[in-house]
């Protein structure tokens, strides 16, 4: 089977404004991010012949990608809309790469946005949070999304002795990184006590253990490795990609303490011919602090059960063993729903271009990005590098 490793590269990346952006709709944010991305790549919209988007909660459109293409006044050869939760961004990237490698198109724009901070009422948001479970075995009992993740966190605490302070350290680290990022939604420093004293949401998860609610959009431009050097910035090459799927509904999960990141990570590393120890940076989906600890273990950055101590040691901080979520992550940079992972991807591009200024990881050459959707169900891992392997 032919591999896509090293055959495509990201040549453009940009974000819209994030946080609270009431003057722009979800569609406008999506287009704004796309136009900024094209400007970053130094190309016009007419050079785009493939487009992928993610549908919006606030402005759902039946043919979303086609609508954005229409808005941009382009006629792509390749057009796709997706919505797989937080894993969407990364699972779709290898589809775009395959389209380029097989000649379906040459230049794919991936742009995603939503406005769940400005566009949803509290009642609408709560309805969504309470509708994610199994219709027969979960929803009738009233759990929300944070409750499901609280269950996972409690399982990890019971099995491995992970502490609330270790969970809180994930949030503190993310906020420290956000303080160095002028685009982050939250930039006021916090400490462990701030997290533990914030309002309880779903035991053991406090308010500051949970991701933000945001407006925002983000986009990347992908093309073949052969063409990548014709663009103005350092190309960022896709070296490995993998998916993993163990369940959809949490009541059917084979384990609450080991996720399908084990599979997605292994497949991505195998494709790239690399190992966790080779990575300079990791961007890991952090809708809740406990997820980072569990996924660090499953992706091979530390032994199973050691994630809490690993985080507590400072390993995920800038200057640590593997800096994680250097832009601030979903916990402190922004989280507009399905597009949330995109900002980890554009941050990775900045890091591997060596453009991240105060938060730049020294001599960063290789990066892992990992997303998950559902309730720790749909996992996707990507490996990127400054050079083709």
Q: Do 285 and 265 touch, CB atoms closer than 8 A?
A: no
Q: Is residue 317 part of a domain?
A: no
In a domain, 271, yes or no: no
Mean pLDDT of the chain: 95
Q: Provide the domain limits for residue 73.
A: 8-120+214-228
Q: What are the C-alpha distances in Å from 305 to residues 162, 284, 361?
A: 8, 17, 27
Report yes or no on 321 lying in a domain. no
* Residue 138, pLDDT score: 86
- Total domain count, the chain: 1
Residues 76, 82, 83, CA angle at the centre, nearest 5°? Answer: 160
Whole-number percent of the chain with pLDDT over 90 = 88
Print the SS3 string covering 125-146.
Answer: HHHHHCCCCCCCCCHHHCCCHH
- Chain centroid to CA 157: how far? 25
**Is 2 exposed, middle or buried, given 0-12, 13-18 or 19+ CB atoms closer than 10 A?**
exposed
Asked whether residue 80 is domain-assigned, the answer is: yes
Bridge partners of residue 86, in order along the sequence: 84
How large is the average pLDDT for residues 228-243? 96
Question: Residue 114's domain is classified under what CATH number?
Answer: 3.40.47.10
Please indicate whether residue 263 or residue 140 has the higher confidence score (pLDDT). Answer: 263
Q: Which residues pair with 290 in a beta bridge?
A: none
Give the pLDDT of residue 59: 93
Span 111-170, pLDDT tens digits: 999 999 999 888 887 777 777 888 888 888 889 999 999 999 999 999 999 999 999 999
Could you give the CA distance from residue 85 to residue 29 in angstroms, rounded to a whole number? Answer: 18
Model pLDDT, residue 88: 67
The answer to whether residue 241 scores a pLDDT higher than 90 is: yes
Domain presence at residue 246: no
Q: What is the pLDDT of residue 84?
A: 62
What 3 state SS string does the chain have?
A: CCCCCCCEEEEEEEECCCECCCCCCHHHHHHHHHHHHHHHHCCCHHHCCEEEEECCCCCCCCCHHHHHHHHHCCCCCEEEEECECECHHHHHHHHHHHHHHCCCCCEEEEEEEEEHHHHCCHHHHHHHHCCCCCCCCCHHHCCCHHHHHHHHHHHHHHHHCCCHHHHHHHHHHHHHHHCCCCCCCCCCCCCHHHHHHCCEEECCEEHHHECCCCEEEEEEEEEEHHHHCCCCCCCEEEEEEEEEECCCCHHHCCCCCCCCHHHHHHHHHHHHCCCHHHCCEEEECCCEHHHHHHHHHHCCCCCCCCHHHHHHCCCCCCCCCCCECCCCHHHHCCCCCHHHHHHHHHHHHHHHHCCCHHHCCCCCCEEEEEEEECCCCEEEEEEEECCCC
In a domain, 79, yes or no: yes
- Please check whether residue 109 lies inside any domain of the structure: yes
Sign of CA dihedral 281, 312, 327, 299: positive
Q: Is residue 101 part of a domain?
A: yes
The β-bridge partners of 369 are 283, 382
Tell me what pLDDT residue 11 has.
98
User: Lowest-confidence range among 52-61, 307-316, 346-355?
Assistant: 52-61
pLDDT digits (tens, 9 = 90+) for 39-56: 999 999 999 999 999 999
- The confidence band for 274, taking pLDDT boundaries of 50, 70 and 90, is very high
pLDDT of 56-111, one tens digit each?
A: 989 999 999 999 999 999 999 999 998 767 776 788 999 999 999 999 999 999 99
Q: Please say whether the beta carbons of 238 and 97 come within 8 A.
A: yes
pLDDT at 233: 97
Q: Is the pLDDT of residue 217 over 80?
A: yes
Q: What pLDDT is recorded for position 122? A: 81
The pair phi, psi for residue 312, each rounded to 5°, is: -60, -30
Asked if 311 and 173 count as a contact pair (C-beta separation under 8 A), the reply is: yes
The length of the chain is 389
Distance CA 293, CA 308 (A): 6
């Amino acid at each position: 089977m032919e591999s896509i490793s090293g055959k495509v590269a990201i040549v453009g990346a940009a974000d819209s404004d994030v946080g609270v952006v009431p003057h722009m709709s979800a569609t406008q944010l999506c287009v704004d991010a796309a136009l900024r991305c094209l400007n970053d790549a130094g190309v016009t919209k007419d050079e785009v012949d493939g487009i992928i988007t993610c549908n919006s909660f606030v402005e759902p459109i039946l043919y979303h990608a086609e609508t954005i293409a229409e808005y941009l006044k382009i006629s792509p050869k390749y057009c796709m809309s997706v919505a797989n939760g937080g894993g969407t961004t990364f699972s779709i990237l290898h589809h775009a790469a395959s389209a380029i490698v097989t000649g379906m198109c040459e230049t794919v724009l991936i742009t995603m946005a939503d406005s769940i901070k400005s566009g949803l009422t509290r009642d609408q948001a709560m309805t969504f949070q309470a509708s994610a479970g199994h219709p027969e075995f979960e929803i009738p009992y009233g759990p929300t999304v944070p409750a499901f993740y609280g269950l996972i966190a409690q399982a990890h605490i019971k099995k491995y002795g992970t502490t609330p302070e270790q969970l809180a350290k994930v949030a503190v680290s993310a906020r420290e990184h956000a303080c160095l990022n002028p685009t982050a939604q939250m930039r006021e420093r916090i400490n462990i006590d701030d997290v533990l004293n914030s309002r309880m949401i779903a035991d053991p998860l406090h308010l500051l253990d949970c991701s933000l609610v945001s407006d925002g959009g983000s986009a990347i431009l992908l093309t073949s490795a052969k063409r990548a050097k014709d663009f103005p910035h350092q190309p960022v090459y896709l070296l490995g990609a993998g998916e993993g799927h163990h369940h959809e509904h949490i009541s059917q999960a084979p384990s609450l303490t080991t996720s399908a990141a084990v599979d997605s990570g292994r497949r991505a590393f195998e494709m790239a011919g690399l190992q966790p120890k080779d990575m300079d940076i990791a961007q890991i989906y952090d809708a809740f602090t406990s997820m980072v600890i569990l996924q660090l273990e499953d992706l091979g950055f530390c032994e199973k059960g050691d994630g809490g101590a690993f985080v507590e040691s400072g390993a995920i901080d800038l200057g640590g063993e593997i800096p994680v979520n250097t832009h601030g992550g979903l916990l402190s940079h922004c989280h507009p729903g399905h597009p949330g992972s995109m900002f980890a991807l554009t941050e990775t591009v900045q890091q591997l271009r060596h453009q991240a200024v105060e938060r730049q990881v020294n001599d960063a050459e290789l990066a892992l990005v990992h997303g998950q959707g559902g309730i720790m169900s749909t996992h996707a891992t990507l490996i990127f590098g400054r050079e083709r392997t």
